[in-house]
Amino acid sequence: MVVTRQGFTRIVATAFAGLGFPAEGPSIYEFPTEMFVQGGDLSPINRNIDRIIYGLTRWQPDTRKTGTFARPKVTVTGRDYDKAVTSMNFLFLRNSWGDGLPLVPPTEQRVNWILTGTDLAPSTVLGTVAPRAGIATVESVAVALAMSGGRPEYLPVLIAAVEAITDPGFGLWRINPTTCGVYPAVIVNGPAAAQIRLSSGYGVMGPDPQHPAAGPIGRALRLVQQNLGGAIPGTGTMAIFGAMRHINAVLAEDEDGLPPGWQPLSVERGFPRGANVLTVTPVSSATNILLSTTDSKTAKGAAREYLSTVAGFMRTPNSCAFTLPRTPDLPSGVVLIGRSWAAELAKVGYSKEALKAFLWENSKLPWAEAERTGLTTKMLIAGLPKDEPAPVAGRPEWLMLVIAGGMQSGQAYWMQTGNQTGVVSEEIRLPRRWDSLLEEAEKDLYSRVSCEDQAICPI
C-alpha cells in the first residue's frame, strides 16, 4: 500500500515495477499536493481511512506469475517507404518509445548490421536499467543505436556506457528518477575514440559532421535510459527542467594534447595508458568560462588569475554536491581545458597534480556563503565539518580534469556534478573484425568523391 501526493502515482508504479512487482503496480492512494505543504489540511486522510486500511490488509494483485518477457516485434506498413517511416515515428511517439526527434527504423536488417560491432551474443545481459529495471541486452542496446542513426563501430562504446550506468556504484536508481536535471557525461580514452571519430577538439560536445559519433551514442544511451529504465517525464523521472538529456554528454579526451608528465583520465582511474576505456560521471549543468583579461605582468601571475576565475565558477553553491559523504568515487564535476592552455600552464610550472590542488583549494565554498544559500544542513548530512569551507571533492586528486576542446587558449568548461552517486569506468571491448568495421566507415563517410558524382558540389 502506497500513499503518495498528486502527480507521483506513475513514478511510484514505475519504481514498484523495478522491484519486480506486477505491471498494475501496488495499491496506491493519491492525496492532493496541498496536504503536504506546511500547515496543510490533513482531513483527506480521515475521509479515506477505510480505503487505506483496505490497501494495507486486503488488496491483491491481478498478476500472480513471475518471470521476464520480451515485447513482440512491431510491423509498420504504408503506401510507400516514406509513409511507413512517418507512421513508425508517430507510433513510437504514441507509445513513448521515441524522444521527439525523427528515428531511423530499427529493422531486423539494420539491427543485425549494428550487431556486427560486437563479438557478444545478442542475448548477453549488460545490466538492469533503473528505475523500471528493464533488462539491457546487447540486442536491445543495438536497437537503440539503430534508432539513433548509429553505426556498428559505435556499439562497443555504447555497450561499455550501458555497463557503466547499470553498475550499482553509479546509482542510476537515483539519477534517472530525480527531480534534478542530471545526465551522464561519458569521457572516452584510448585509440578507439579517434578511430570512430569521437570529438576531442573544437566543438567537442557540439554537432560536427567530421566527428559524428557522440550524437548517436549519447542519444542511444538516453533511449536505453528511457525505454528500458522508464525515464519518461512524470513517469520514471521527475526532473523539473530535464537539462541536456537528448544526447547526454559524450566526448573523448585529447590525449595527444596532454603536456609531458600529465596522465589521461583513464590512467588516473587505474587503467594502463593506451587502453580503450570510458568513464561515466553524473553532471547537472555546464558553464563556459571565458578567461579574457588579467592585470598580471608575468605569465605565472596570469595563470593564477585565470585559474582563480575557474575556481570561482566551481565554487558556485550547488545543493546536489552535498548529499553523501566524500569518497574517491563520489563525483566532483569535470573541468575541461584545451590543449593550448594546458601547454601554457605546464610551461609556467604547473603539473596536473598542482593544477588540481590549486583548483581544489580555491574552489572551496565558505561556510558563511553556504549559510546564506541554505546549504549547511545538507553539508552536515554529508559529513562536512561545521564552519569549515567545503571542497568540491574529498581530496585534490579526486577532482576530474580533462584535456579537450580546440587549439586556442582563454577558455575553460565546468560541468557541475549531478546527484552524488558514483563514477564508474569500463573497458571498451572491440570485436575481432574491428579493422574491417573501420574500413567500412572510412568508405561510407570519408572517401573522396569527385564533384561530378555528387548531387551538390562543395563551394
One DSSP character per residue, 381-442 reads: HTTPPTTSPBPSSSSGGGSEEEE-S-S--SEEEEEEE-SS---EEEEPPPPTTHHHHHHHHI
**Which pTM does this prediction carry?**
0.89
Instruction: Name the DSSP letter for residue 35.
Output: G
Rg for the chain, CA atoms, rounded? 25
Min mean pLDDT across 15-29, 77-91, 441-455 is at: 15-29
Domain boundaries, given as residue ranges, for the chain: 2-57, 110-427
Computed over every residue of the chain, the mean pLDDT equals 88
Q: How confident is the model at residue 178 (pLDDT cuts 50, 70, 90)?
A: confident
Which pLDDT score is estimated for 67?
Answer: 67
Measured distance CA(205)–CA(246) in Å, rounded: 13
23 vs 318, more confident: 318
Show the cell assigned to 51: 480505503
For the segment 71-91, what is each residue's pLDDT rounded down to a tens digit? 788 999 999 999 999 999 999
Show the cell assigned to 347: 610551461
Q: How confident is the model at residue 448 (pLDDT cuts 50, 70, 90)?
A: low
Confidence check: pLDDT of 458 > 60: no
Confidence check: pLDDT of 343 > 60: yes
Which pLDDT score is estimated for 161?
Answer: 98
Q: Which residues pair with 184 in a beta bridge?
A: 282
| Closest among 217, 199, 200 to 209, alpha carbons compared | 199
Is residue 284 helix, strand or coil? strand
| All residues at 6 or more sequence positions from 99 whose CB lies less than 8 Å from its CB, including other chains | 219, 222, 223, 226, 246
- Give the Å distances, CA to CA, from 80 to 83, 84, 85, 139, 248: 5, 6, 9, 28, 34
Confidence check: pLDDT of 62 > 60: yes
Which pLDDT score is estimated for 137?
Answer: 97
Confidence check: pLDDT of 459 > 60: no
Measured distance CA(315)–CA(393) in Å, rounded: 11
One DSSP character per residue, 224-269 reads: HHHHTT---BTTTB--SS--STTT-EEEE--GGGPPTTPPPHHHHT
Which pLDDT score is estimated for 370?
Answer: 84
189 vs 28, more confident: 189
Which pLDDT score is estimated for 450?
Answer: 58
Measured distance CA(405)–CA(340) in Å, rounded: 9
Identify the burial level of 123 via C-beta atoms within 10 angstroms of its C-beta, where 0-12 means exposed, 13-18 middle and 19 or more buried.
exposed
456 vs 370, more confident: 370
For the segment 247-290, what is each residue's pLDDT rounded down to a tens digit? 999 999 999 999 999 999 999 999 999 999 999 999 988 899 99
Is residue 151 helix, strand or coil? coil
Which pLDDT score is estimated for 25?
Answer: 57
Identify the burial level of 14 via C-beta atoms within 10 angstroms of its C-beta, where 0-12 means exposed, 13-18 middle and 19 or more buried.
buried
Q: How far is CA 184 from the centre of its chain?
A: 1
Strand blocks (E) in 62-211: 125-129, 134-137, 183-189
Measured distance CA(345)–CA(353) in Å, rounded: 12
Which pLDDT score is estimated for 297?
Answer: 83
Q: How confident is the model at residue 432 (pLDDT cuts 50, 70, 90)?
A: very high
CB 70: neighbour CB atoms within 10 A? Answer: 10
Q: How confident is the model at residue 224 (pLDDT cuts 50, 70, 90)?
A: very high
Show the cell assigned to 447: 572517401
For the segment 117-171, what is each residue's pLDDT rounded down to a tens digit? 999 999 999 999 999 889 999 999 999 999 999 999 999 999 999 999 999 999 9
Place of cell 610550472: 349
Which pLDDT score is estimated for 155?
Answer: 98
For the segment 372-412, what is each residue's pLDDT rounded down to a tens digit? 878 888 778 777 788 888 888 888 998 999 999 988 888 99
Confidence check: pLDDT of 53 > 80: yes
Is residue 305 helix, strand or coil? helix
Measured distance CA(403)–CA(431) in Å, rounded: 28
Show the cell assigned to 194: 579517434
Which pLDDT score is estimated for 239?
Answer: 84
What is the percent of the chain where pLDDT is above 90? 58
Measured distance CA(89)–CA(101) in Å, rounded: 9
